[in-house]
Structure 1
Amino acid sequence: MSLAMQARRADATEIDALARLWHDGWQDAHAAILPLELARHRTLASFARRLADGLPAVRTLGAIGQPLGFAMIQGDEMYQLYVGAAARGTGAAAMLLADAEIRLADTGVTRAWLACAIGNERAARFYARQGWARMGNMINRLDTPDGVFDLEVWRYEKNVARA
């Protein structure tokens, strides 16, 4: 992958490919460390619905129809960041995160936050390398078809405002 590649808006035709990427990444990073009650709601269809609902806030890398990863923002939150296994170690995640930080700042956010699953050490190391500070634990209220699921997570924050 060329690191000169630019993040771009995700296209509606990519929802299925992005959902597969998200599903596979979620299984890889979270299935073994999160409660089974939550895992049963994290289906391919649920990821596709969430992507469709949040598509204007989703940016990706790669050719249209062949996304390598994506980042989604929501309010002042760096909401989701996933990179396909083939793109890990290429700088794709850092590019997507930097793009998301710019988008957050452009919407007037001064200090952004993100939730990281407790025990996801790979992600925790990555966020620390990118200048995000772990502020402690928090309860993240996750929507599921059965209602809200409260999950304790690590909260990270970073100043994203431009000088």
Structure 2
Amino acid sequence: MTAPVEAFRHLDPAPMRPLAPADIPSLARLWHQGWCDGHLASASEGLVRARRLESFVARLEAAPAGEVQVTGPDGAPAGFFWLKGACLDQFYVDPALRGHGLAMPLMLAAEAQLAASGVDIAWLSCVVGNDRAARFYEKAGWHRAATTPMQLQTADGPFDIVVWRYEKRLLP
């Protein structure tokens, strides 16, 4: 049984900063490894080929200013989140740091930024089968609202996947 989200309210949000060019190589490796950990079991061969390390570098290089927030030293980020409107589009922690208490403060920082921008109900997608991530989202107070198809756009073309949509009310 997981602890209720109230048990984590004492945590301070992780110190965040905007993505810097020096972060991109190591952040792309962190993201690629995290993606592989959570998606390889359910991804098609074509999607795995499309999600090579270079694709993560390109996505980070093209990120609009301010959407990607990073925690950790310049050039050696420990985790990040990427917000797009009311969506927590990406959320990753360095695999070497999992279990060290970084994920929950990072989530609190993402939620605080969403709430500060006026988002009432935030949402995120978690690929069906990524049970480790799903457990974390539920521990953080997110609830599974739906299972739905989704089309990913990649440089190699679109790919159809099925995701769990999680939601969380941020404003009273």
Fold match by TM threshold 0.5? yes
Whole-Å separation in 2 of the counterparts to 1:134 and 1:142 = 20
Selected match of 1:145 from 150, 155, 167? 155
1:35 matched residue in structure 2: 44
Q: 1:50-92 CA deviation, whole Å, 9 max, x = no partner?
A: 1122252111221111111111111111001111122111221
TM-score (norm 1): 0.91
- Aligned partner of 1:155 among 134, 144, 165: 165
Q: Which residue of 2 aligns with 1:112?
A: 122
Q: Provide the residue aligned with 1:62 in structure 2.
A: 72
Once residues 104 and 47 of structure 2 are traced to their aligned partners in structure 1, the CA distance between those partners, rounded to angstroms, is 28
Give the match's secondary structure for 1:40.
helix
Look up the match of 2:33: 24
The residue aligned with 1:82 is: 92
| Secondary structure in structure 2 of the residue aligned to 1:81 | strand
| More contact order relative to length (CA 8 Å, sep ≥ 6) | 2
Query: Residue type of the partner of 1:147?
Result: G
Structure 1: 5+ residue runs without aligned partners?
none
SS at match of 2:66: helix
Root-mean-square deviation (Å): 1.6
Q: Are the aligned partners of 1:115 and 1:140 in contact in 2 as well (CA < 8 Å)?
A: no
Deviation for aligned residue 1:8: 2.0
SS in 1 for 2:41: coil
Segments of 5+ residues of structure 2 without an aligned counterpart are: 1-10
CA distance, structure 2, for counterparts of residue 95 and residue 59 of structure 1: 13
Q: TM-score, normalised by structure 2?
A: 0.86
CA distance in 1, matches of 2:100, 2:72: 12
Give 2:108's aligned residue.
Answer: 98
The one-letter amino acid of 2:129's match is: G
1:13 pairs with 2:22: yes
1:128 to 2:123 alignment: no
Deviations 1:17-64, CA, capped at 9 Å, x for gaps: 100101111112211222222111101111011112225211122111
